[in-house]
Amino acid sequence: MNDILEARDCQPPENVPADYCGKLKSGIARLEAAIQSQYEALYPTGRDLIARAVREAEEASWATPFPSLFFPALAHLKVSEMMPSA
């Protein structure tokens, strides 16, 4: 679990605004809610699996240099793996 928390520590590139990390984390949180809501509307009985898939995708995205870029694709991939009809 500590590795995940450390991965979520934002490492901003040089010459970015001071609020870069806050905006990045906020943007990913909004994406997470939107993607989860989208799939839950389609598959209401799969709520727990969808939440887990989206959470795992968010955690994995922080291990990349561009979490906001990778998160949506990883989330869709994880949901489709857990919910074969997705």
pLDDT of residue 8: 67
pLDDT of residue 10: 80
Alpha carbon distance 82, 50 (integer Å): 8
Q: Where are the alpha helices (DSSP H) in 1-86?
A: 2-7, 20-42, 47-61, 67-82
Structure tokens, 42:
């389609």
pLDDT of residue 4: 44
Weakly modelled stretches of the chain, pLDDT under 50: 1-7
* This prediction's pTM: 0.80
pLDDT of residue 12: 79
Alpha carbon distance 80, 4 (integer Å): 23
Structure tokens, 6:
């450390």
Given a contact cutoff of 8 angstroms between Cβ atoms, the answer to whether 20 and 68 are in contact is: no
